[in-house]
Amino acid sequence: MKISDKKYIKKSLRDNKKIIFLWGVLIFFLALYFYIIMFNMNKLMDQVDLIVRRPYEVLVSTDKVNAEIDKLKVYNENLKFNSTKDNIKHISKDIENIYASVEGEFLNLRSFFDANDGNVRKLYNNFRELKKNENILLKNASDENYKYKEINKYMTDNVNPYFDKIDTLVVKIQNKVDIKIHSFYMNANDIKNISESISIIMFLIIILGLIAYQISLNKKNKIINYKNSIFDTISKNIAQGLFLHNLNDPNENFISESSEKLFGIKHEKLLNGYDLIIRNIDEKDREEISKIQKSTDKEDWEYTFDYHHPISGEVLKIKMSVNYVDADGEDVWLTVYSDETDQVLMQESLKNALEKAEKANEAKSDFLSRMSHEIRTPLNGIIGMVTLARENINNKSKEIDCVNKISASSKHLLVLINDILDMSKIESGKVEIKNKKFGFRNFVESTVSLFFSQAKEKGIKFKSVLIGNIPSYVKGDYLHTNQIIVNLLSNAVKFTDKGGEITNRISLLKEEDNKVWIRFEVSDTGVGIEKKNFDKIFNPFEQEDASVSYNYGGTGLGLPIAKRFTQMLGGNISLKSEVGKGSTFTVDLPFTRIPEPNIDIFMNKKLNILLIDSMPETLDRMAYIFETMKIDYKCIGSGECGIKEIKENPSKYDICMIYDDLNDMSASKVIDDIKDTAENDIKIIVSSYDTIDIMDDKKWERADAFINKPMFISSIIDVLYGMDNIDLNFEDINYKNEDILKGKNVLIVEDNELNMEILRELLILQGCKVTCAVNGEEGVEAFEKSKPYDFDIIFMDIRMPVMDGYQATEIIRGLDRKDAKEVIIIAISANAFEDDIEKSISFGMNAHISKPINIGNLIDSLNNIYNKKDTY
């Protein structure tokens, strides 16, 4: 649109405004005229109403006169028959009231009519004559000699004629009033109708004239209005704000209505002040705009500034494009304001995404580089140790050392591969959460035992503490819970140097119904983490810095895996750390409590236990457990005090529970002194973070039982159940049989010779009789040829040539022999994901064990199977 067109439009708009103003003035005066006419008509009607109302009051007065005269007639009739003094006295009083009332109405009639009105005057004169004769009648009637006939005759001759005259005159007056009422009303109504008709006709004539004029005007302005509507629509609906600034005449300035939404300022206010926009611009941008304006002379320019929107509070990126236009000799600046926020954010987002992608690629490249080194290191160790073992075939000690190092390297390699697989599964969204019952106590004991040994090897002090009513059994996701805590403890051991300390604290955070929130706190006194790296260490493929990989190794996936699993389980993970002082990782997870074994059996046993432990946390924990189980106890914090207690009470205690790592003296020495001092057959229970490691040590030969720390109610029940002199009847408790494989006849179905050899030798070492088959078909054939119940267990590989493990299992379960349904079939596979396990179970297998085979895991699985079958 040309500037000249815009100028023409604006001029036309001004002309239209003038016309509209004139219209308004004319209509106003017409309305005022109409109002005045109507007002006068109403006033006229008000006057007419007054004229009409007075005759009506005359009618009312005449009616009252008639009514009073009628009363007087009644009294006269009464007087004929009762002319006693009392009655006359009473009638006289009432008649006086009638006189007064009629006199009052006559006053009203005189005020309404002309004094010379004949009918009113005659009416009044007749009333006076009636009053005079009535008084004479009353006087005569009071005379006892005046008889009925005389009274009646007087009434007929002197009173009744006046009654008739008065009635006649009243009728005449009323007729006259009616005629006047009708006449006044008709005249007034005619005037009103004529006035209204004239006013309406005039109003219509004027309106029609104005309409005709407007039609003519509209034809002339049709093009202008059309252009104006287009311009108005554009200015309202465009996303940009449009400003026209006339340097010669500020009244010619124009701002589009769309600017209101853009700047968050009312359009009317924008018209009055450009400064309202300037206020919401940063100082540096204001200065820059002012600088550009001063330096340019009729040149186009652009600038993008930050605008603080006064309504939404957002900071918008506004681009102003300024163009100079010569409009018929007038200097006009056309400024277009555009919201570039989305474009800028998109550019920044693309830039950030690009940087993030580059960082991710860099992180993955670094990760692959680290993994190349991390994987090669244990592989080199395995290959090197194999070479050394071959060279030292006859050197048994050297062979054992090589085998131990090969085992350690293999386990390290397996951890690396598992981390990579776990992260891959998380990234692909294939992680499934399984809420099942599991032994929380067993979970704690296994993790504590594992990392206690690792910490001990590095010279790190390790302790695990339970706080509150921690359940022995819960319903939750064991696999992922275990991975979270194992990753945290693994990092604690890795980043804590010799002489440091690790604390694994498990506490009951809160409980509602059967839902419990358990807090895991893993604290260490290791190297610590800089606060700026808190988020970074939870990102996949990243480590705090390059020195971490160089000094400590690892994949950098442990914490990201722990965080993702925690979130999937509906929990929270947090970190507190200080460089050089250590770190504390806190994980809160929800579980469902499973009821504990029945502890009421202890109520009548009268057990008395002496606890000797140098850890205050253990003393508090055991005090809580013993009180819950209603067992008498005493807690002592040193070996020396424990010996002293036994000397003072040599036959008081049935059991002494002692920690294997006391601070003040050797626990084995304390046991010897207690055994030698006690006068009864006191039983000794040794508590340790790794009972398997100390059981075979001869210094503990006088101990009667061992118990893992930290202790649960169920672990106390288990150890008491095994004591020779403690007669307790426990039900529904499953116990682990370490010799469960001994004497079992086993069928191995495995196509890989090396894997078959490893499993066969492991089972033979456990006392098994082993038969082997190289594929599913041979496995089925071997089972079919065997006698019923000949095979106790079948270890079935999944992926095999000829026939896989799934098909073989289905065929075996479908055979027409009783043991086909009962024989235990355990899947062995390199695939260890949850869906692989479920698939194995769905095909009829009893359990699923991942490769490489761990004999401990195999024994645990068999114990679980046999406990379910309730038999060995």
For 659-711, give the DSSP string: ETT-SSS-HHHHHHHHHHH-SS--EEEEEES-HHHHTT-GGGTT--EEEESSP
Q: Which of the listed residues 424, 442, 457 is the one where a domain comes to its end?
A: 424
Residues 606 and 695 in one domain: yes
Burial of 44 (0-12, 13-18, 19+ CB in 10 A): middle
Q: Which of the listed residues 304, 339, 374 is the one where a domain comes to its end?
A: 339
Residues 402 and 269 in one domain: no
* Tokens (6 digits) for 456: 């001990």
Domains identified in the chain, total number: 6
Is residue 739, in this structure, part of any structural domain at all?
no
In the chain the first and final C-alpha atoms are separated, in Å, by 97
Cα 359 versus chain centre, distance: 34
Is residue 226, in this structure, part of any structural domain at all?
no
d(CA 806, CA 52): 117
> Judging by DSSP bridges, how do beta strands 582-594 and 473-476 pair with one another?
antiparallel
CA torsion through residues 411, 416, 417, 421, sign: positive
Which residue is listed with tokens 């007056």? 173
How many other C-beta atoms are found inside a 10 Å radius of the C-beta of residue 118?
Answer: 11
Is residue 728, in this structure, part of any structural domain at all?
no
d(CA 619, CA 527): 31
Which residue is listed with tokens 């006709």? 201
What angle do the packed helices 3-81 and 160-220 form, to 10 degrees? 170
Residues 459 and 574 in one domain: yes
Residues 194 and 281 in one domain: no
Residues 193 and 272 in one domain: no
Residues 120 and 262 in one domain: no
Residues 609 and 699 in one domain: yes
Q: Which has the closest alpha carbon to 432: 836, 857, 840, 850?
A: 836
d(CA 304, CA 347): 15
What is the pTM assigned to this prediction?
A: 0.51
d(CA 287, CA 333): 20
Is residue 750, in this structure, part of any structural domain at all?
yes
In this prediction, residue 775 carries a pLDDT of 94
Residues 335 and 349 in one domain: no
Distances (CA, A) of 866 to 734, 771, 789: 10, 22, 16
Domain CATH code at residue 385 = 1.10.287.130
In this prediction, residue 2 carries a pLDDT of 41
Domain CATH code at residue 311 = 3.30.450.20
Find the helix or strand (DSSP H, E) in which 324 lies.
Answer: strand 315-327
d(CA 634, CA 625): 12
Q: Which has the closest alpha carbon to 685: 609, 598, 605, 608?
A: 609
Residues 71 and 8 in one domain: yes
d(CA 30, CA 160): 67
Distances (CA, A) of 118 to 124, 312, 528, 818: 10, 91, 130, 144
Q: Which has the closest alpha carbon to 181: 65, 58, 63, 67?
A: 58
In this prediction, residue 1 carries a pLDDT of 42
* Tokens (6 digits) for 812: 């075996």
Domain CATH code at residue 574 = 3.30.565.10
Which residues form the domain of 288? 239-339
In this prediction, residue 527 carries a pLDDT of 87
Distances (CA, A) of 121 to 67, 96, 124, 133, 166: 19, 21, 5, 19, 11
* Tokens (6 digits) for 528: 């610590």
For the chain, which ranges sit under pLDDT 50? Answer: 1-6, 8-9, 546-547, 549-553, 724-735, 871-872
In sequence order, which residues have a C-beta less than 8 Å from that of residue 21 and are 6 or more positions away?
none
In sequence order, which residues have a C-beta less than 8 Å from that of residue 637 and are 6 or more positions away?
612, 613, 614, 616, 619
Is residue 225, in this structure, part of any structural domain at all?
no
Residues 450 and 587 in one domain: yes
What three-state secondary structure class fits 576? Answer: strand
Task: Judge whether 854 and 761 are in contact, CB under 8 Å.
Answer: no
Strands (E), 156-300: 241-246, 254-255
The counts of H helices and E strands in the chain are 27, 22
Is residue 735, in this structure, part of any structural domain at all?
no
Interior/surface letters 729-763, b for 16+ CB within 10 angstroms, e for the rest: eeeeeeeeeeebbeebebbbbbbeeebbeebbebb
Domain CATH code at residue 676 = 3.40.50.2300
Burial of 29 (0-12, 13-18, 19+ CB in 10 A): exposed
Length of the chain in terms of residues written: 872
Is residue 733, in this structure, part of any structural domain at all?
no
Residues 416 and 503 in one domain: no
Q: Which of the listed residues 594, 612, 647 is the one where a domain comes to its end?
A: 594
Is residue 652, in this structure, part of any structural domain at all?
yes
Residues 81 and 164 in one domain: yes
